[in-house]
Amino acid sequence: MELIRVNTKEIFTKTNLPGADYVINQYVGCEHNCAYCYAKFMSRWKKHGQWGTWVEAKMNAPELVKNKTVSGWVFMSSVSDAYQPIEKDLKLTRHVLENLDKRIKLSILTKSDLVLRDIDLLKQFKDSEIGLTINTFVGKEKDIFEPNSPSNQKRIEALKILKENGLKTYAFISPLIPGLIDLEKLIDETREFVDYYWLEVLNLRGAGKEFSNILETDYPKSFRILKKPDLFNQFINELKIICKKKGIKVRGFEEH
């Protein structure tokens, strides 16, 4: 993995992402290298090589947030994971949190239990929420789809610990793929310690041609449901029925 250290002029970026007004990306690129990641499009502008083999770190990000504030929700992060492996040593995310105005409304989404390291700082924010992306990929699917991310069990356990520490939590169930994700199982395992759920159905276009080819070849039934509008709508309705039956609070079926 290549680490590219850079400086930047701005760190708060306006966004149209649902539920957020600004994003902070102290990193660009992600070592987790999830095969379906929509952020792979960044490689068109960042000529560092294949997605998943490099991470760009904005080394002056902690200084840029110092003594600054914005109104609305700030999301961390949209084209990276704030707690990818390099963060363990670089501590760039931690330094950003140290300097960030604690009155800012902060939302963090990660696939890593490393977020637990920063509970002391997260508890200082007046209004914050921490989400973990979870799914039911194990074995072959985990190796293919999410080769370098922590296990789902570690992520679920992280949600539990965050809640035990008084933090607001949410489970980001993604990517919802027919036949590959057990939504009911995930809800049953987490409902006691998450405040709400966010559901994201796989967007084939955003995932890219290579991932579509994997689905079409190895999981043709899943691919067919995602491609055919009538079957896709039926799949969405089935998800809604599950959510209603379980009585959970859901933000939406957003696609990226």
pLDDT tens readout for residues 87-99: 999 999 999 999 9
Residue 40 in this model has a pLDDT that exceeds 80: no
Average pLDDT over residues 4-30: 96
Averaged confidence pLDDT in the chain: 94
pLDDT at 147: 94
Residue type, 42: M
pLDDT at 253: 58
pLDDT tens readout for residues 224-254: 999 999 999 999 999 999 999 999 999 865 4
Confidence at 34, pLDDT banded by 50, 70, 90: very high
pLDDT at 91: 98
Residue 256 in this model has a pLDDT that exceeds 70: no
Residue 140 in this model has a pLDDT that exceeds 60: yes
Residue 42 in this model has a pLDDT that exceeds 70: no
| CATH number of this structure's domain 2-254 | 3.20.20.70
pLDDT tens readout for residues 165-222: 999 999 999 999 999 999 999 999 999 999 999 999 998 988 999 999 999 999 999 9
pLDDT at 255: 39
**Ramachandran class of 67: left when φ > 0, alpha when ψ lies in -120 to 50, beta otherwise:** left
Average pLDDT over residues 30-55: 82
Average pLDDT over residues 104-120: 98
pTM for this structure?
0.94
Of 91, 172, 184, 94, whose CA–CA distance to 129 is shortest?
172
pLDDT at 95: 98
pLDDT at 50: 82
- The full DSSP string for the chain is -EEEEE--S--EEE--STT-SEEE-SEEB-TT--TT-GGGGGGGT--SSSTTSEEEEETTHHHHHTT---SSEEEE-SSB-TTSTTHHHH-HHHHHHHHS-TTSEEEEEES-GGGGGGHHHHTT-SEEEEEEEE----HHHHHHH-TTSPPHHHHHHHHHHHHHTT-EEEEEEEEE-TTT--HHHHHHHHTTS-SEEEEEE--HHHH-HHHHHHHHHH-HHHHHHHHSHHHHHHHHHHHHHHHHHHT--EEEEE--
